[in-house]
Amino acid sequence: MAPTRPVITSIEDLRVLARRRVPRMFYDYVDCGSWTEGTYRANTDDLSAIQLRQRVGVRIDGRSLRTKMIGEAVSMPVALAPTGLTGMQHADGEILAARAAERFGVPFTLSTVSICSIEDVAAHTSRPFWFQLYVMKDRAFIERLIVRARDAGCSALVLTLDLQIQGQRHKDLKNGLSTPPKPTLRNIVNLVTKPRWCLGMLGTKRRTFGNIVGHVEGVEDVSSLAAWVSQQFDQTLTWEDVRWIRRLWSGKLIVKGVMDRDDAVMAAECGADAVVVSNHGGRQLDGAPSTIAVLPDIAAAVGQRAEVLFDSGIRSGQDVLRAVALGAKGVMIGRSFLYGLGALGEAGVTRCLEILHNELDLTMGLCGVTDIEAVDDAILMNRGKRAA
């Protein structure tokens, strides 16, 4: 008798399956926050606490989730966020996620610290993808990365500003996170229980940071890479560097990691086409507010000057709708698609997007809304104008 396939109806189902199939250190890398993880939990808790306003007696046929994000047509207001080590959740993970996003009609964002390189993803997709940039001390390397992104046809540069130093993530430290995993007894015992993952990794050559190894002088192996990365995150980063990157990059520029209205205004003044309200998924400053708590203020401050996107905490289509209602033009998902990737590979990313699309569509209908572009805070309880 053939084994029964798991019935996947929610992002939580994907998370549970990913936890079974992905090695501990890489699953924990995704499913953790910094320090007490208080901000990590607040991101999801504060979103789920926002109540939706159910309506009846209105036509809800012909619903449309189609819109635009930074001028690009999308099937729903969702983009795949840049996530490091995506290719350690599943072999060739960035390529698989990019292909799933392309078929579904939503943007994919490749991280600087991806396993598959910019060129790898470009060779396996036809839709222009977004590239996320960390500003490192080696400015010549940054210039080369920007040129590579341009040559690969990337349509947007996502500049992440909230990782000048790294928040302390206890699980990563305890697991001895590395790529590929160090051959310790603890790791070997855990890998034996993940045969799908191991077979996939044996079948690919992509097991380290593809955008860095071979592109930086002196970085040719894992040990030299680790030393280089630990020294490269730049604590001298300022808005002048953002202006410098704006001059180098002629395409759309998105500034990610904004949690303060003054910073959002500064990003717009530096030429950002969009800002992403993000606390790095609760992985940086523990004790910071949730992203949904600061979204309305930031949207009010810069929404007429720069597009406002949102991430951190999205686990359902209802969360997407809540963020849009509070001022986001669209959202970026990280953990949700990574759970799908770890659980089922490319099919899991597609299933994640299907779940979000279905939940968003049904929730719009139950709220009496037929066009995602018409959504505002009137669909939320105790917000917006109320009928007499």
CA dist., res. 324 & res. 74, Å (int): 14
Closest CA to 361 of 104, 93, 65: 65
Is 124 tagged catalytic? no
Q: Where are the domains of the chain?
A: 11-379
| Half-sphere exposure at residue 375, Cβ-oriented, CA atoms within 13 angstroms | 36
CA dist., res. 380 & res. 219, Å (int): 52
Residues making up the binding site for glyoxylate:
29, 132, 134, 169, 280, 283
Please pick, among 90, 170, 215, 280, the residue that the annotation labels catalytic: 280
Assess contact for 341 and 349: CB atoms under 8 A.
Answer: yes
pTM metric for this prediction: 0.95
Q: Which amino acid is at 366?
A: L
Q: How many CB atoms lie within 10 A of CB 119?
A: 13
Class of the domain covering 11-379:
alpha beta
- Give the model's pLDDT for residue 388: 31
> Which residues are paired to 13 by β-bridges?
none
- Give the model's pLDDT for residue 40: 98
- Give the model's pLDDT for residue 166: 87
Closest CA to 232 of 163, 331, 178: 163
Instruction: List the chain pLDDT tens, one digit each, 388 residues.
Output: 556 678 999 999 999 999 999 999 999 999 999 999 999 999 999 999 999 999 999 999 999 999 999 999 999 999 999 999 999 999 999 999 999 999 999 999 999 999 999 999 999 999 999 999 999 999 999 999 999 999 999 999 999 999 988 899 999 889 988 877 888 899 999 999 999 999 999 999 999 899 998 888 877 655 566 677 778 888 999 999 999 999 999 999 999 999 999 999 999 999 999 999 999 999 999 999 999 999 999 999 999 999 999 999 999 999 999 999 999 999 999 999 999 999 999 999 999 999 999 999 999 999 999 999 999 999 999 865 433 3
**What is the phi/psi pair of residue 68, to 5°?**
-130, 145
Residues making up the binding site:
29, 82-84, 111, 132, 134, 160, 169, 256, 278, 280, 283, 311-315, 334-335
Question: Given its phi and psi angles, is residue 62 left (phi above 0), alpha (psi -120 to 50 degrees) or beta?
Answer: left
Residues making up the binding site for FMN:
82-84, 111, 160, 256, 278, 311-315, 334-335
CA dist., res. 100 & res. 88, Å (int): 17
Task: Give, in order, the Cα–Cα distances in Å from 129 to each of 74, 75, 157, 172, 351.
Answer: 12, 15, 9, 29, 20
CA dist., res. 46 & res. 333, Å (int): 16
CA dist., res. 112 & res. 118, Å (int): 9
CA dist., res. 319 & res. 225, Å (int): 38
Assess contact for 276 and 310: CB atoms under 8 A.
Answer: yes
- Give the model's pLDDT for residue 182: 83
First-residue to last-residue Cα distance in the chain? 61
